Amino acid sequence: MTRENQSSTDLKSAPGVKDYSAYFQPPSLKDAKKRGKEEIQVHYDFSIPEEMREFGAGKRYLIQTYGCQMNEHDTETIKGLLDAMGYTSTEDRQEADLILFNTCAVRENAEDKVFGELGHMKVLKQQRPGLMLGVCGCMSQEEAVVNRILSKHPFVDMIFGTHNIHRLPHILKEAAFSKEMVIEVWSKEGDIIENLPKKREGIKAWVNIMYGCDKFCTYCIVPFTRGKERSRRPEDVLAEVRDLARQGFQEVMLLGQNVNAYGKDFEDIDYTLGDLMDDVRKIDIPRVRFTTSHPRDFDDRLIEVLAKKGNLMEHIHLPVQSGSTEVLKRMSRKYSRESYLELVGKIRVAIPDAVLTTDIIVGFPGETEEQFEDTLSLVKEVGFDAAYTFIYSPREGTPAAAMEDNVPEEVKKARLKRLNDAMAELSKASNDAMAGKVVEVLVEGESKYNPDILSARTRTNKLVHFSGPKDLIGKRAMVKITQPKTWLLMAEWLEEPAVSPF
Ligand code: 5AD
Ligand code: SF4
């Protein structure tokens, strides 16, 4: 059954479930593509309802997060809301009073993991009936997922969508007092809620600059689960970054599904991602990054601003997805192999030491051996330092899911391996070229495997390990690369030279 011909009546008639049609509009490809330029409203008046401010006192929550940095950041908002209701956090499922799964829908295996976890939850729920269980994030925006939870995991207390996070206090209240599963998923939401609390930890902070995506690449579910593109006002983004700088954060990552479309929805001002980066550049925060870029909208203004460097890092994540113009057409990426290479050329001229990383899908419907080899040759021609590589996963309701998935599974796996081998070689070659160089790193903490070793990142986002005093954690330091490996640079700490102001 496709999304278009599914209706929500089967959901309404599920036993024990109230009529929630006002809250749940199933995602529809047709409707999503028709979405117009409804006015985007920005709300600055969020507050936790009076009666919910003590609701979590003495209770503990655990949130399990899947997927991209946008989801990780949503989890920070959810934690901020729960803290504001008096909850505290725990890592132990046995002592949690509330467990939330913040889910990802981008590939099938991410969904399988969540359904597997929900299976385990049944026993926990039987042992402790007071435990509240919720599913949120991108999977909640899919009608088929909601149906499956209703029929197979009816013990779940609440399901809420990516546009409903600010409703969490109300959803919790309803779930606590009602015997039915509470479902609140809006499929279209043009609004931005500005003043939600956020619980940030560590030295790096994520900052949303826009929400949603209007690109509709044929394989991708994000335009349905995250809604239409809407940019935060520059003054709100800049105020947040200034505040993070005042709090002592060392790095901000500006986030959006398609950040190069930033500002395109403003009707009153002409202000793009390049302008935003130029303004963020003037804020006294040591490191600024952004993700994710779409090659189609990556303009000259942005390149010109990134070339000014300072606190703007010389690392660009530029998903290419395929090196074959034919496949790119079927993916509806709206650029060709040639125009991608042209963009890379421009970046290389303006920022010669820029490191490029990418995302690639292998085994897209109809991908021939020759077309896959075009991807391999492009990867080598660009000389990416790293790539997130994926086997194509059909997503119900997307145009690609209706294409014939005719590349055999073994061929897909073999292509992934060939691509990963090529990437490992490229990464090793690029790391080898750094031997003996002195670079600035931001020290993030102890290495996961050896607490005597510090773990740090270069401006180009390469991982560096070295021995040094613990008080370097959270600071920038200069190191000399001694032993490059495939995915890691071993280094030695230098007390001199000092770190540049930026
Ligand atoms: N199958 C495989 N990979 C996908 N991605 C997005 N949708 C799919 C899919 N259906 C990958 C793309 C994207 C990254 C976040 O996930 O490479 O850039
Ligand atoms: Fe998905 Fe990115 Fe394409 Fe948007 S630009 S549809 S998020 S792959």
- Tell me whether residue 196 is in a domain: no
Give the pLDDT confidence score for residue 496 in this predicted structure. Answer: 79
- Which token pair is 371? 């077309």
Return the CATH number at 162: 3.40.50.12160
Give the sign of the dihedral formed by CA 271, CA 277, CA 282, CA 283.
positive
- Tell me whether residue 319 is in a domain: no
Q: What are phi and psi of 466, to 5 degrees?
A: -160, 165
Domain count across the chain: 4
- Tell me whether residue 180 is in a domain: yes
Q: How far is ligand 1, taken at its centre, from the CA of residue 293, in Å?
A: 14
List strands edge to edge, sheet with 287-291. Answer: 204-208, 251-255, 287-291
The domain containing residue 123 runs over which residues?
A: 11-184
Say yes or no: 69 and 98 in one domain: yes
The segments of the chain whose pLDDT lies below 70 read 1-30, 36-38, 187-190, 501-502
Whole-prediction pTM? 0.92
Half-sphere exposure of 265 (CA within 13 A, CB side): 27
The minimum-distance atom of ligand 1 relative to the CA of 321 is 17
Say yes or no: 157 and 250 in one domain: no
Q: Which of 320, 340, 357, 361 has most ligand 1 atoms within 8 Å of CB, for mutation?
A: 361
- Tell me whether residue 65 is in a domain: yes
Say yes or no: 209 and 353 in one domain: no
Beta carbon of 105 within 6 Å of any ligand 2 atom: no
Beta carbon of 226 within 6 Å of any ligand 2 atom: no
pLDDT tens by residue, 378-390: 999 999 999 999 9
Say yes or no: 144 and 250 in one domain: no
- Tell me whether residue 294 is in a domain: yes
The minimum-distance atom of ligand 2 relative to the CA of 292 is 2
Give the pLDDT confidence score for residue 304 in this predicted structure. Answer: 98
Say yes or no: 21 and 149 in one domain: yes
Provide the phi-psi class of 67: left if phi over 0, else alpha when psi is between -120 and 50, else beta.
left
Say yes or no: 366 and 288 in one domain: no
Q: How far is ligand 1, taken at its centre, from the CA of residue 457, in Å?
A: 26
Say yes or no: 180 and 95 in one domain: yes
Whether omega for the bond prior to residue 292 falls within 30 degrees of 0, making it cis, is yes
Beta carbon of 466 within 6 Å of any ligand 1 atom: no
- Tell me whether residue 5 is in a domain: no
One-letter amino acid at 205 equals: A
Say yes or no: 179 and 234 in one domain: no
Q: How far is ligand 1, taken at its centre, from the CA of residue 481, in Å?
A: 34
Beta carbon of 223 within 6 Å of any ligand 2 atom: yes
Beta carbon of 287 within 6 Å of any ligand 1 atom: no
Beta carbon of 222 within 6 Å of any ligand 2 atom: yes
Beta carbon of 215 within 6 Å of any ligand 2 atom: yes
Q: How far is ligand 2, taken at its centre, from the CA of residue 388, in Å?
A: 15
- Domain boundary among the residues 270, 295, 313 is at 313
Say yes or no: 17 and 166 in one domain: yes
* Angstrom distance (rounded) from CA 74 to CA 206: 10
- Tell me whether residue 337 is in a domain: no
Say yes or no: 241 and 173 in one domain: no
Q: How far is CA 315 from CA 288, 384, 430, 465, in A?
A: 10, 11, 14, 19
Are the C-beta atoms of residues 262 and 210 closer than 8 Å to each other?
Answer: yes
